[in-house]
Structure 1
Amino acid sequence: MSMQPREPVEVPVETVRVARAAFPKGSLAIRVRDELGVLFADEQFVGLFPVRGKPAWSPGRLAMVLVLQFVEGLTDRQAAEAVRARIDWKFALGLELADPGFDFSVLSEFRDRLVGGDAGRAVLDAILVAAKDRGLLASGGKARTDSTHVLSSARELNWLELVGETLRAALNVVAHAEPDWLSARALPDWFRHYATRIEDSRFPKAHTKRVEVGRRIGADGMSLLRMVWADDAPPALRELPEVGILRQVWVQHFHLVEGEVARRDPKDRPPGAKRLVTPYDIEARGSVKRDTMWDGYKVHLTETCEPDAVHLVTEVTTTVATVPDDRMAAVVHTGLARRGLLPDEHWVDAGYTNSSALAASRIDHGVDLHGPLVPVTVAQARGEGTYGQDAFTIDWDNQHVTCPNGITSTQWHHRRSEEQLPVIRVRFSPADCRACPSLRDCVNSPKAQRREITLRPRHEYEALHQARQLQATDEWKDRYKIRAGVEGTISQGVQACGLRRSRYRGLGKTSLQHQLTGAAINLIRINAWLSDQPRARTRTSPLTALRPAA
């Protein structure tokens, strides 16, 4: 398929006449076209198509179809049918009433092109640009961010299902690629154990027997790997993705003990960021957040939150499930800066805030990052303690620290923390500390003979100290209530657009789904704003309404 860019055209006269008659009060699709104009031009996607071949259906229109599909939660078949049959969609796309549309498979192919060209962000960007031109969006002001978990499209597997299904998938592709070669070498039990899906099998309940099943699967998988890597095996088998996945899973979960295949101990397995959880979505990872455990991904949504303006999603970032939130503030700010939509104040929850994030937000982007700081749990480090870290006087220029009793530190070293972050290790002389009557109140360990302090770099330390002082005020606590509204955005994404579960496999396609979800939420909100629909109030249960005022 090739693309021959076409200039956006006016909506055909007959389409306008019928749409106005059928929708005298308008609809979302009609209102978006009337107020925002043509959102997507073919030129935006010219790099996704070759220069030769059969002309493709307009990619600008296909992008609009994808967004409308997420607005209404339609399947590909339903979206293609809407293009053929619905007058309001024809109006939004600028089509003649008799236009036959396209086959539903075109949408899947177009999504693949968007993922391959990393063009999903362009869809959200185009809507934000149109909102800017309409006066609905501006830089500065306030924004808020939160994340939520996203389940993989593949079914969650327990350990026996994971290794069994990985082996079954590898056997199937090898059987398809080299049936004669595998038939001559396959063990008789393989046809009984792996001919059907592992979930259709009944694993024994007794722990010892389940261990035996796991050992048997491990031995069978190791046998297949030895066969594939034997000198007489067809070399092409080693290049099959499913065989590579089998090898990776077996390295992560099995090893040889005195020549026998055994399961690795938990401490001998790779960390969750590298460990596969299903052979059918190799980029999904398992993670835990408080009481929630899931296999899949995580999405971060950022929206504007000015009280007298429409709240629009300005940044959508998707990661694997194991990426912690405290690494994402800089990523979100970089995306907002690219769009020219950096806020003055950015409100987040405790997961995003630490000393480095607070300092980097201000220094790199000029953004005030606001979020609750994790409380200090070490007694000697609490600011309110007599010998807490805040009770010590820090001379950054001369690189020494003075304790409340007037003793000056003797060592100041720049080091790296366990997380490989820059820190400063400050130590006092044992001779000075042993003679101090307050030694036991100042140190943690009963055997410690001197006080040691770990400091962040100066700019991070000062940013953290200032934030703690600010967050102790009632004014800040009252202002922080603005962050709670982003929970409603996540709820809208989950209920209206299926945000909670990925429709597709892989990080790239899941990220595209979330970009389209952000675009769909924006169109829904712009339509509500233009049609003067009031925002829904926060629901209050009857029991909560009876609570006496404090």
Structure 2
Amino acid sequence: MQGVERADRRLLDAAALVGHLVPAGSMYAFLADCRGRVFPDELFADLFPSAKGRRSIPGSVAASILTLQTLLDYSDAEAAEAARCDLRWKVACGLALDDKGFHPSTLTYWRRRLANSDRPYRVNDAVRQVVEATGILRGRRRRAVDSTILDDAVATQDTITQLIAQIRRVARVVPGAAEQIAAVCGGHDYSRPGKPDIDWDDPDAKQALVSTLVNDANNLVAALAEAKLDEPAQQAVALLALVAGQDVEPADGSDGTDGRWRIARKVAEDRVISTVDPQARHTRKSPQARRDGYRAHIAAEPDTGIITDEQLTKACGPDNADAAVAQQFLANGPTNTNSEPNSDSDSEPNTTAGVGDDDTGPEQPTGRPDQTAQEWYGDCAYGTGDLRNALDQAGHTAIIKPKPSQSPIRGGFTIDDFTVNTDQQTVTCPAAHTRPISPATRTADFGTRCRTCPLQTRCTKSKTGRKIVLNEHDALLRQARADWRTDPTLRDRYRRHRPNIERVIAQVASRGRRRLKLRYHGIHANHTWLKQRTAALNLRNLINRGLHWTNGWTLATS
């Protein structure tokens, strides 16, 4: 059953006895005074529908512990120890000095209850309500977007380790699989963890081991193909089939039918890097800097640092690219419907207003500006035609650094030197040759005209001539590049506001000088962590601005 906080203080109440030791204006002091207002007990009532059984930790206390844990990047054991031994935690959570605390598994229990509920992100939603009530976003129509890679909680596995580990996992979770392994998998003793003892300096021995493991995996998948399996078992078999094929190719002189395999000379697209966490991925920030894990995408109001949206995705893939996720943020709509657009001046509105202000809504017949219009700031990773078109269609302004145009010849002609006539669907090159645009491929092929062209050495090295491929939103991209070159105020606004998102990213991805490492497996669990992390950072941001309750949430400073 649900536990609730007592209205009266206990004899050894930490806040009453040592509350004066907790610094005023800190997260601990704020939670000591206001945890019940931010996280009221009724917010968690649906998690405990039964009135029977042992009482849980009060919802306001559990939410406060989860908030502190995520903010400080504590493990469950560290958080439980802090609640038992740290006076600041006892004051923040309303505990007695002699309170023995709780077992670390209690936090796992709460996360599972929240994850299985209809509102798994209610802690984040509660903080968002406080953000909106303070009015800190009122009049602020700038949004900056960026992303960062968060390291996963598992070790990256090589092909041999993955094959052995996944066959062992199938034996554990699939009924009858152990007998099938004994019957069709004779290349290795899968009752033993770890790699077999072979001469790892012998290439032939390694290739023979790879062939044996791949064949065993394929045989096991085939043997279980007709079995009726539940969802966890199906997922285990499907993952085995995936790891058996993603990293190997037929050996030299083989077509794969003779059972001879070798490690492929390339990295598979969307490669699974660990059977422990199949959703973790490789990615690269540069050819030299490889990272493994997940990508955290953040949208924030750059001048206040308030995070308005967040999303955790796989580290690679077109659907997880920066611009694609930014379009999802855009589709979520404005965070604060009471906001008004940024004025041309840099003066900021009063941010201590409460929730009683009238909604102004969209553009009115009197000629008032569209109050949902925003300025979106991003680096060149967000400069895609699709995102620019989405922003344009929504009435927003893109302050996004465009991707530079590339030329096949160093210092030669780029696509911007070619004139596109959208009415006639033609492209004209710098030498005044005009070619039609193919409706199917959106390409203009200059072909043999390049052979005798006096400008060929500045245009192309191809023997078949220059080919221009036009983006679906080519006109938007051209205009963006032209504006960036010719409008100094655009670049000034970008330099003034966009870098602020990098500070927000640093707060999300690190604590002190230490880079955070994810503690959970899978997108869902880590996305929940990111939601709690951004909620804690937003709450700390508001507290630093003097957040307090006086017949409503207000701020002492703007």
Q: CA deviation at 1:156?
A: 0.8
Q: Which moved more, 1:100-109 or 1:322-331?
A: 100-109
Residue 547 of structure 1: aligned partner: none
Summarize the alignment of residues 436-455 of structure 1 with structure 2, pairs less than 5 Å apart.
438=454, 440=456, 444=460, 447-448=463-464, 453-455=468-470
Q: CA deviation at 1:241?
A: 3.9
Q: Does 1:195 align with 2:191?
A: yes
C-alpha distance in 2, partners of 1:405/1:436? 11
Pick one of 392, 396, 399 that aligns with 2:422.
396
Structure 2 vs 1, CA of residues 17 and 172 (structure 1 numbering), >3 Å: closer, same or farther? closer
Q: Does 1:300 align with 2:303?
A: no
Pick one of 318, 324, 327 that aligns with 2:312.
318
C-alpha distance in 2, partners of 1:296/1:109? 25
Q: CA deviation at 1:505?
A: 0.6
Residue 109 of structure 2: aligned partner: 109
Pick one of 457, 474, 480 that aligns with 1:466.
480
Q: Does 1:151 align with 2:167?
A: no
Any idea what SS the aligned residue of 2:297 has?
A: strand
C-alpha distance in 1, partners of 2:178/2:261? 31
Any idea what SS the aligned residue of 1:530 has?
A: coil
Residue 219 of structure 1: aligned partner: 215
Any idea what SS the aligned residue of 2:294 has?
A: strand
Residue 543 of structure 2: aligned partner: 527
- Partners of 2:185 and 2:220 within 8 A in 1: no
Return the TM-score normalized by structure 2.
Answer: 0.74
Q: Does 1:483 align with 2:508?
A: no
Q: CA deviation at 1:154?
A: 1.6
Query: Could you list the per-position Cα deviations for residues 479-519 of structure 1 after superposition, in whole angstroms to 9, with x for gaps in the alignment?
Result: 43343333333333333297642211111001111112212
Summarize the alignment of residues 269-284 of structure 1 with structure 2, pairs less than 5 Å apart.
271-273=268-270, 275-284=271-280
Structure 2 vs 1, CA of residues 370 and 36 (structure 1 numbering), >3 Å: closer, same or farther? farther
Counterpart of 1:363 in structure 2: which amino acid? Q
Query: Over aligned residues, Cα RMSD in angstroms?
Result: 4.2
Counterpart of 1:364 in structure 2: which amino acid? A
Q: CA deviation at 1:331?
A: 1.9
Q: Which moved more, 1:95-104 or 1:324-333?
A: 95-104
Counterpart of 2:540 in structure 1: which amino acid? I
C-alpha distance in 1, partners of 2:73/2:484? 43
Query: Could you list the per-position Cα deviations for residues 101-137 of structure 1 after superposition, in whole angstroms to 9, with x for gaps in the alignment?
Result: 6543232122223334474544323213212323433
Structure 2 vs 1, CA of residues 471 and 190 (structure 1 numbering), >3 Å: closer, same or farther? same
Residue 70 of structure 1: aligned partner: 70
Residue 362 of structure 1: aligned partner: 392
- Partners of 2:272 and 2:280 within 8 A in 1: yes
Q: Which has the higher helix share?
A: 1
C-alpha distance in 1, partners of 2:373/2:34? 25
Q: Does 1:239 align with 2:233?
A: yes
Identity %: 21
Structure 2 vs 1, CA of residues 32 and 468 (structure 1 numbering), >3 Å: closer, same or farther? farther
Summarize the alignment of residues 79-228 of structure 1 with structure 2, pairs less than 5 Å apart.
79-83=79-83, 88-89=88-89, 91-93=91-93, 102-117=102-117, 119-138=119-138, 140-173=140-173, 177-178=175-176, 181=179, 185=183, 190-191=188-189, 194-198=190-194, 204-228=200-224
Counterpart of 1:260 in structure 2: which amino acid? D
- Partners of 1:150 and 1:296 within 8 A in 2: yes
C-alpha distance in 1, partners of 2:60/2:378? 35
Structure 2 vs 1, CA of residues 210 and 183 (structure 1 numbering), >3 Å: closer, same or farther? closer
Q: CA deviation at 1:100?
A: 6.4
Q: CA deviation at 1:224?
A: 3.2
Pick one of 255, 258, 261 that aligns with 1:260.
258
Structure 2 vs 1, CA of residues 171 and 282 (structure 1 numbering), >3 Å: closer, same or farther? same
C-alpha distance in 1, partners of 2:76/2:265? 44
Query: Could you list the per-position Cα deviations for residues 139-162 of structure 1 after superposition, in whole angstroms to 9, with x for gaps in the alignment?
Result: 634332221112221211122222
C-alpha distance in 1, partners of 2:65/2:107? 9
C-alpha distance in 2, partners of 1:319/1:471? 34
Summarize the alignment of residues 302-451 of structure 1 with structure 2, pairs less than 5 Å apart.
302-306=299-303, 310-322=304-316, 323-335=320-332, 337=334, 340=337, 344-364=374-394, 366-378=396-408, 385=413, 389-391=415-417, 393-400=419-426, 409=435, 411-416=436-441, 424-426=442-444, 438=454, 440=456, 444=460, 447-448=463-464
- Partners of 2:171 and 2:181 within 8 A in 1: no
Structure 2 vs 1, CA of residues 375 and 206 (structure 1 numbering), >3 Å: closer, same or farther? farther
- Partners of 1:333 and 1:365 within 8 A in 2: no
Query: Could you list the per-position Cα deviations for residues 185-214 of structure 1 after superposition, in whole angstroms to 9, with x for gaps in the alignment?
Result: 4767643xx333326867612322211111
Aligned residues: 501
Residue 536 of structure 1: aligned partner: none
Any idea what SS the aligned residue of 2:38 has?
A: coil
C-alpha distance in 1, partners of 2:502/2:140? 21
Pick one of 500, 520, 528 that aligns with 1:504.
520
Q: Does 1:286 align with 2:282?
A: yes
Residue 533 of structure 2: aligned partner: 517
C-alpha distance in 1, partners of 2:380/2:399? 11
Query: Could you list the per-position Cα deviations for residues 63-95 of structure 1 after superposition, in whole angstroms to 9, with x for gaps in the alignment?
Result: 332111112222223333444555554554456
C-alpha distance in 2, partners of 1:315/1:187? 49
Structure 2 vs 1, CA of residues 316 and 280 (structure 1 numbering), >3 Å: closer, same or farther? same
C-alpha distance in 1, partners of 2:22/2:516? 33
Counterpart of 1:129 in structure 2: which amino acid? Q
Q: Which moved more, 1:368-377 or 1:142-151?
A: 368-377
Structure 2 vs 1, CA of residues 217 and 60 (structure 1 numbering), >3 Å: closer, same or farther? same
Q: Which moved more, 1:289-298 or 1:341-350?
A: 341-350
C-alpha distance in 1, partners of 2:527/2:89? 25
Q: CA deviation at 1:359?
A: 2.6
Q: CA deviation at 1:439?
A: 6.8
- What stretches of structure 2 of length at least 5 have no aligned partner? 340-371, 548-558
Return the TM-score normalized by structure 1.
Answer: 0.75
C-alpha distance in 1, partners of 2:23/2:60? 27
Structure 2 vs 1, CA of residues 527 and 141 (structure 1 numbering), >3 Å: closer, same or farther? same
Query: Could you list the per-position Cα deviations for residues 382-403 of structure 1 after superposition, in whole angstroms to 9, with x for gaps in the alignment?
Result: 9x95xx5545554434544566
Structure 2 vs 1, CA of residues 11 and 305 (structure 1 numbering), >3 Å: closer, same or farther? farther
